[in-house]
Amino acid sequence: MGYPHPPHPKETVVLSQYFGDPEARTYEGWKKRGGYTALEQALSMAPGEIIEIVKESGLRGRGGAGFPTGLKWSFMPKEKTKPHYLCCNADESEPGTFKDREIMRWTPHALIEGCAIAQYAIQAEVTYIYIRGEFTEPLAIMQQALEEAYRHGILGKDAMGKKGLRLDMYIHRGAGAYICGEETALMNSIEGRRGNPRIKPPFPAAYGVFGMPTTINNVETLAAVPHIINRGAAWYKSLSLSSPKSTGTKLFSVCGHVRKPGNYEVTMGFPLGELIYDLCGGMREGRKLKACIPGGSSVPILNREETESCLLDYEGCIEKGTMLGSGGVIVFDDSADMVYQIMRLARFYAHESCAQCTQCREGTAWTVRILQRILAGEGEMKDLDLLLELAEQMTGKTICVLSDSCAAPVVSGIKKFRDEFEAYIKGARRPVTALA
Ligand SMILES: Cc1cc2nc3c(=O)[nH]c(=O)nc-3n(C[C@H](O)[C@H](O)[C@H](O)COP(=O)(O)O)c2cc1C
């Protein structure tokens, strides 16, 4: 179980500092590396003070939407009349994204420490860590780390020796549904219901898990919190290469046609081109970069020029018409068949749609059928307009954005690689018969 690469000199290693170091996994190893000092410091502050520090740091959610973390925490009721909950979103099912898995595999105590600080700041007595069902190894590692944390008095009654403070954490294992990563579906799943997203409002801070005030944060977001408490909001804010609205480091999971795929941690605003050509060793022998999806499969595709000039932060991605999302960078070289790739993505969304909203249930399925028709050489030119019209009906009209996520690669794909779609329709490209 090795870690694939030693840190590249251009990486800014914060969250991934101990990736590949098995000793950091244990309670003793984590303590030796300065673990749980941030929690100790946080517990000497008032909850509101911690929220202010996190706000000041500029930390934004790493699960996809990029919502400011401190602001989210501040929505929790200050007067405590009901139990409060924290949910750690460790579902990580977005195609191309595999960074939360590595945080849990190598530094489980970093996540527990981040959760404990957040839990104290929002005055929650319980944290549920919702782990993707397929993550058997991270699950075992997290379970062991939780047992250690209880055994050493970090969690449980009089947590960290603080009289009257109770911090409990439970792992809830998912069962293989992508939709359960959506925060309200995740809460339904924890409650033992079908993982269907809920209509918002009410927002989780008002009516969350078991109808109680709840905050949901991604693994990477929570794992960043101890560093902010230890090293200060100003230090975190200073980690920014372009926009002051995007601060800190970010783990990018790079997959596809690069020589060295893997997780790379860089400062916000790092150039996407440098990530691909320098850190990941560039494209495979004799191949050229064709396209890239920078934020997990749910965001618009970039062509080569856009990829090479894109800065990896929230604003830089928006400027190129895409999104930073979860930071799953999927790279395609010039051997990639974009029509086929887009159909594969659409098929994933069609399979994972919870089928609650008509636009999503029907839209994702019809998108796949039309794309398969084109690939089979049976498409017509008007199918391209039909796909775009369908995508419009699938965007901004459903309870959650799974449907929008299916539409984004289709719309950007047709816009940027229309010639490939037309080649199938005109019979200039050999039909794909095996649509596996
Ligand atoms: C279909 C769908 C799947 C999602 N999957 C995940 C996921 O696996 N992990 C995650 O952290 N966020 C996921 N999200 C985003 C969450 O709804 C939520 O925004 C996030 O957990 C909030 O944490 P953050 O503010 O720390 O980013 C998903 C959203 C949608 C619409």
CA distance 93 to 90: 9
Give percent of the chain above pLDDT 90: 97
Question: In angstroms, what is the span from residue 66 Cα to ligand 1's centroid?
Answer: 10
Kindly list the structural domains of the chain, giving each domain's residue range(s) and its CATH number in brackets, ordered by start.
Answer: 22-238 (3.40.50.11540), 249-333 (3.10.20.600), 338-426 (1.20.1440.230)
CA distance 101 to 126: 22
CA distance 15 to 250: 8
Per-residue pLDDT, 272: 98
Give residue 192's identity as a one-letter amino acid code: G
Mean pLDDT of the chain: 96
Position 226 pLDDT exceeds 80: yes
Average pLDDT over residues 80-103: 97
CA distance 204 to 26: 33
Q: What is the DSSP track for 105-117? A: HH-HHHHHHHHHH
DSSP 8-state code for residue 232? -
Question: In angstroms, what is the span from residue 88 Cα to ligand 1's centroid?
Answer: 10
Position 2 pLDDT exceeds 90: no
Closest by CA to 241, choosing from 184, 190, 316, is 316
Cα of 171 vs its chain's centroid, Å: 19
Per-residue pLDDT, 396: 97
Position 122 pLDDT exceeds 60: yes
| Among protein residues, the one whose CA lies closest to atom 6 of ligand 1 | 181
Whether ligand 1 lies within 6 angstroms of the CB of 62 is answered as: yes
Average pLDDT over residues 291-310: 97
Position 192 pLDDT exceeds 60: yes
CA distance 188 to 203: 13
Question: In angstroms, what is the span from residue 89 Cα to ligand 1's centroid?
Answer: 7
Q: Ligand 1: which of 183, 394, 400 to mutate, judged by most atoms within 8 Å of the beta carbon? A: 183
Average pLDDT over residues 261-283: 97
Whether ligand 1 lies within 6 angstroms of the CB of 89 is answered as: yes
Average pLDDT over residues 311-326: 97
Ligand 1, atom nearest to 400 Cα? 31
CA dist list (Å): 395 to 158, 364, 392, 402, 405: 48, 11, 5, 9, 8
Query: Under the phi-then-psi rule, with left for phi > 0, alpha for psi from -120 to 50, and beta for the rest, what region is 243?
Result: beta
Per-residue pLDDT, 434: 73
> What confidence tier does 5 reach under pLDDT thresholds 50, 70, 90?
confident
Per-residue pLDDT, 436: 59
Q: What is the β-pairing status of strands 168-173 and 126-131? A: parallel
Identify whether the C-beta of residue 253 lies closer than 8 Å to the C-beta of residue 260. Answer: no
Greatest Cα pair distance in the chain: 75
At 111, give phi and psi (nearest 5°).
-70, -45
**3-class DSSP state for residue 244?**
coil
Which parts of 76-220 are beta strand (E)? Answer: 85-90, 126-131, 168-173, 214-218
Give residue 194's identity as a one-letter amino acid code: R
| Among protein residues, the one whose CA lies closest to atom 18 of ligand 1 | 183
Per-residue pLDDT, 6: 87
Average pLDDT over residues 347-362: 98
Per-residue pLDDT, 1: 37
Tens-place pLDDT, residues 134-154? 999 999 999 999 999 999 999
Average pLDDT over residues 266-294: 97
Edge to edge, the sheet with strand 168-173 lists 168-173, 126-131, 85-90, 214-218
Average pLDDT over residues 43-66: 97
**Which pair of structure tokens corresponds to residue 369?**
């059928």
Residues contacting 305, CB < 8 A, separation 6+: none
Tens-place pLDDT, residues 375-416? 999 999 999 999 999 999 999 999 999 999 999 999 999 999
**This model's pTM is above 0.95:** yes
Average pLDDT over residues 351-369: 98
**Which pair of structure tokens corresponds to residue 316?**
């830089």
Q: Ligand 1: which of 218, 228, 299, 353 to mutate, judged by most atoms within 8 Å of the beta carbon? A: 218
Per-residue pLDDT, 263: 97
Position 435 pLDDT exceeds 90: no
Average pLDDT over residues 114-126: 97
CA distance 94 to 326: 8
Give percent of the chain above pLDDT 70: 99
